[in-house]
A and B are shown apart, each in its own frame.
Chain A
């Protein structure tokens, strides 16, 4: 029904892009599935590549959790697979560090940045603002293929003789700058840097497109304040990426100089293997500044898109308007702004001036304000809602739960005094895994379950979805709650074996519980992967245009839209995206004109 209205009222303000319309009639396999310039296909490419990376990265965490949970045991099958990396069936220390490093790199960058933003920005921006495609479909395609290039390079580093980078996902110098310092600082480190450089290019090409599309290509009537919160979130995410990734890039360039041209940007007064190195005048702290100037915005690059997805899916399934739409935008803006002003809270114990530290504490704790506003708004959106517990909705609720638990511990670690004790312990691991890892995954799953019908014209299996949700939620808490406790006790992160330490050896059994939960949660993610791929081909078919009774524009397109999204004219927008349960109507699509006797919102 909304479709007729759409065609009726659509005004052709976008003739420029009309020529995309006919393309899908004469596409070859290569242009349709491989070098596609269609935003929908690129979104699917990003999603599936991200899923593959998530399996690899998740499997790595299972491997190092095996070591942490069973430090005494030997597993001969590990040696069969990994050879000298798991000599005598035991994961070797070098391999352990490489696994941790790669797990972090893969999950932070390749899954939760490219896999998340790449998927949902590409899928939702043109759909929800009413555009036929991105501002530059070609650049969009390049963005994906640079991501593939980065992926291939990183993957290849797993197969070199000396192994991949192993100095932690932050690759701090001097360890990362000196090839002789460790196995992982040799060619694996170079491949890591080149891969991440390609990744930055991919992110920038994508981000340019996202911002440019949102600001320039909205359909008639789609004012900024009528945009769904997903689009606002993706806009802030893209801006953050544009401004912070180049700084990371410059840090990498200086690191490459130090590695290969004998410069001393980050190196000074180093004795390596008994030899005094000639490097003088450098400072490793400089790298940390450059890294965390990206690194901190990066965590918001990860979490902001999921905040948008959750807001949207939650409002639809609570059959209520999102509570505090403008407050949501303002708090996202505040988060995006503060993101650039708090990077030094990762460096409290680097010998920073305590006064400077206190400024960063203040700015860091300020982030609690917009975060709390958002949590409040989600809870009040749920409050007395007419809730439909779809798998997507469950993951939204799970997201809020995780975000609260993880956000609260942020107040602990954001305090420079407490940080002296908590720094580099399992408390930090627990904090950021809950607030940005698990939360972001929850938001991403909500998005996948919710928009799967739009992507593939079929539904995912609900029962498997419910199992996936509950096991994931329980396992996430079983994994990360005990880690807070271990962190309070001072248990440092990144250690290979805690059983030899008098202070920590009583945690061996707790570690085993965590490892067990980690393995179970990995297996249940495979269930999701099965559900995903099975449903692409065999899932229940979508038979209505608007299966969730949602207001936004993507549900006015055909069930399997061609390149160009709308067969006719692009619909015109008359209202915001959240008119649910208004004036006795369950929902009013954005394309429906405001009638005279309608109450104002």
Chain B
């Protein structure tokens, strides 16, 4: 159906541009964080342990989405569905662990919102919270493509949507790793 495969698919190109936009958003937030850190009233912190585990979870999910993509390319649809489902489950697990982490953080006296909150802790919630929203976006896209794979009417072997999701998923994964290292080093 296509003639020129040497060119990058326009959708993929758009995705990369979109990722550049997301990078700018988090760059804005993390640079605000850096500026704020050098001002008086900043309080130092260490993140709860659970964030280490959630980081591992999201890293594993990157592997599973890659396996799913490879399976799709080889038209092993059962395997593709299985690993796509695992990826989605790991994504949900990651989100839950993040939220538990927020509660633990809050419970340890580091108030992120409301009376007596410190911008240092609020930043963790704002930045990591915004990251969760991006994971959720990935999950929605993933579910749409996943349920399309069960459609009985048409057999769809178009690899582009799956590739797009895999790229996005790796991106939000790397984004979290960056944020985690960022919070750990610049607390």
A contact residues vs B (CB 8 Å cutoff)? 13, 15-16, 135-136, 139, 204, 207-209, 211-213, 215-217, 242-247, 249-251, 253-254, 257, 261-265, 268, 278, 280-283, 286, 289-290, 293
Q: Which residue of A lies closest to B117 (CB)?
A: A263
Q: Which residue of B lies closest to A131 (CB)?
A: B10
Residues of A within 8 A of B130 (CB): 250, 253
CB within 8 A of A290: which of B32, B39, B117?
B32
B69-82 contact mask (Cβ, 8 Å, vs A): 1 or 0: 00000000000000
Residues of A within 8 A of B122 (CB): 257, 261, 263-265
A289 contacts B21, C-beta separation under 8 Å? no
B3 contacts A281, C-beta separation under 8 Å? no
B98-119 contact mask (Cβ, 8 Å, vs A): 1 or 0: 0000000000000011111111
A216 contacts B7, C-beta separation under 8 Å? yes
Instruction: Give the docked Cα–Cα distance between A281 and B13 (Å).
Output: 41
Instruction: Give the docked Cα–Cα distance between A207 and B18 (Å).
Output: 9
A sample of 21 inter-chain contacts (CB < 8 A) reads A13-B3, A16-B3, A136-B10, A139-B14, A212-B13, A246-B21, A246-B24, A247-B27, A247-B28, A254-B126, A257-B125, A257-B126, A262-B113, A262-B114, A263-B122, A265-B32, A265-B126, A268-B41, A281-B39, A283-B36, A289-B32
A204 contacts B32, C-beta separation under 8 Å? no
For residue B64, give the distance in angstroms from its CB to the closest CB of chain A. Answer: 28
CB within 8 A of B117: which of A243, A246, A262, A289?
A262
CB within 8 A of B13: which of A135, A243, A244?
A135
B3-30 contact mask (Cβ, 8 Å, vs A): 1 or 0: 1100110110110011011101111110
Instruction: Give the docked Cα–Cα distance between A162 and B165 (Å).
Output: 44
Residues of B within 8 A of A281 (CB): 39-42, 118-120
Instruction: Give the docked Cα–Cα distance between A471 and B9 (Å).
Output: 49
User: Majority SS of interface residues in chain A?
Assistant: helix
From A139, A263, A280, residue with most partner B Cβ within 10 Å: A263
Residues of A within 8 A of B114 (CB): 261-262
Instruction: Give the docked Cα–Cα distance between A217 and B112 (Å).
Output: 47
A242 contacts B14, C-beta separation under 8 Å? no
Instruction: Give the docked Cα–Cα distance between A215 and B27 (Å).
Output: 25
CB within 8 A of B24: which of A13, A139, A247, A268?
A247
Residues of B within 8 A of A293 (CB): 28
Instruction: Give the docked Cα–Cα distance between A208 and B125 (Å).
Output: 28
B21 contacts A136, C-beta separation under 8 Å? no
B14 contacts A209, C-beta separation under 8 Å? yes
A212 contacts B21, C-beta separation under 8 Å? no
Residues of A within 8 A of B40 (CB): 281
B113 contacts A208, C-beta separation under 8 Å? no
Q: Which residue of B lies closest to A256 (CB)?
A: B126
**Other contacts beyond A15-B2, A246-B25: 6, CB < 8 A:** A13-B3, A135-B10, A216-B13, A253-B29, A257-B122, A265-B126
For residue A200, give the distance in angstroms from its CB to the closest CB of chain B. Answer: 9
A289 contacts B35, C-beta separation under 8 Å? yes
B contact residues vs A (CB 8 Å cutoff)? 1-4, 7-8, 10-11, 13-14, 17-18, 20-22, 24-29, 32, 35-36, 39-42, 112-120, 122-123, 125-126, 130
Residues of B within 8 A of A244 (CB): 24
CB within 8 A of B14: which of A136, A250, A257, A261?
A136
With contact pairs A243-B24, A290-B32 given, residues A208 and B14 touching in the complex (Cβ less than 8 Å): yes
B18 contacts A282, C-beta separation under 8 Å? no
For residue B4, give the distance in angstroms from its CB to the closest CB of chain A. Answer: 7
Instruction: Give the docked Cα–Cα distance between A281 and B38 (Å).
Output: 11
CB within 8 A of A264: which of B4, B18, B118?
B118
Residues of B within 8 A of A250 (CB): 25-26, 28-29, 32, 130
From A208, A265, A278, residue with most partner B Cβ within 10 Å: A208
Residues of B within 8 A of A286 (CB): 32, 35-36
For residue B95, give the distance in angstroms from its CB to the closest CB of chain A. Answer: 18
Instruction: Give the docked Cα–Cα distance between A538 and B125 (Å).
Output: 58
For residue A20, give the distance in angstroms from its CB to the closest CB of chain B. Answer: 14
For residue A449, give the distance in angstroms from its CB to the closest CB of chain B. Answer: 32
A251 contacts B14, C-beta separation under 8 Å? no
A212 contacts B17, C-beta separation under 8 Å? yes
A253 contacts B126, C-beta separation under 8 Å? yes
A136 contacts B11, C-beta separation under 8 Å? yes
A263 contacts B119, C-beta separation under 8 Å? yes
For residue B118, give the distance in angstroms from its CB to the closest CB of chain A. Answer: 6
Q: Which residue of A lies closest to B40 (CB)?
A: A281
Residues of A within 8 A of B36 (CB): 265, 283, 286
Residues of B within 8 A of A265 (CB): 32, 36, 119, 122-123, 126
With contact pairs A246-B28, A249-B25, A286-B35 given, residues A264 and B119 touching in the complex (Cβ less than 8 Å): yes
For residue A136, give the distance in angstroms from its CB to the closest CB of chain B. Answer: 6
Q: Which residue of B lies closest to A268 (CB)?
A: B41
For residue A573, give the distance in angstroms from its CB to the closest CB of chain B. Answer: 17
Residues of A within 8 A of B26 (CB): 250
A13 contacts B25, C-beta separation under 8 Å? no
Q: Which residue of A lies closest to B121 (CB)?
A: A263
CB within 8 A of B21: which of A215, A245, A278?
A245
For residue A245, give the distance in angstroms from its CB to the closest CB of chain B. Answer: 7
B32 contacts A215, C-beta separation under 8 Å? no
Residues of A within 8 A of B118 (CB): 264, 280-281
For residue A297, give the distance in angstroms from its CB to the closest CB of chain B. Answer: 11
Residues of A within 8 A of B42 (CB): 281
From B11, B119, B123, residue with most partner A Cβ within 10 Å: B119
Residues of A within 8 A of B123 (CB): 265
A215 contacts B14, C-beta separation under 8 Å? no
Residues of B within 8 A of A211 (CB): 13-14, 17
Residues of B within 8 A of A253 (CB): 29, 126, 130
Instruction: Give the docked Cα–Cα distance between A265 and B3 (Å).
Output: 53
Residues of A within 8 A of B39 (CB): 281, 283
6 tightest CB-CB pairs across the interface, nearest first?
A: A281-B41, A246-B25, A135-B10, A247-B28, A263-B122, A262-B114
A215 contacts B126, C-beta separation under 8 Å? no
Instruction: Give the docked Cα–Cα distance between A391 and B15 (Å).
Output: 40
Q: Which residue of A lies closest to B28 (CB)?
A: A247
Instruction: Give the docked Cα–Cα distance between A50 and B114 (Å).
Output: 40
Residues of B within 8 A of A289 (CB): 32, 35
Instruction: Give the docked Cα–Cα distance between A280 and B111 (Å).
Output: 13
For residue B19, give the distance in angstroms from its CB to the closest CB of chain A. Answer: 10
Residues of B within 8 A of A15 (CB): 1-3
For residue B134, give the distance in angstroms from its CB to the closest CB of chain A. Answer: 12
From B3, B7, B14, B42, residue with most partner A Cβ within 10 Å: B14
Q: Which residue of B lies closest to A249 (CB)?
A: B25
A13 contacts B4, C-beta separation under 8 Å? yes
For residue B11, give the distance in angstroms from its CB to the closest CB of chain A. Answer: 6
Instruction: Give the docked Cα–Cα distance between A16 and B20 (Å).
Output: 27
Q: Which residue of A lies closest to B15 (CB)?
A: A208
Q: Which residue of A lies closest to B27 (CB)?
A: A247
For residue B81, give the distance in angstroms from its CB to the closest CB of chain A. Answer: 25
With contact pairs A13-B3, A211-B17, A286-B32 given, residues A278 and B116 touching in the complex (Cβ less than 8 Å): yes
Instruction: Give the docked Cα–Cα distance between A161 and B113 (Å).
Output: 29
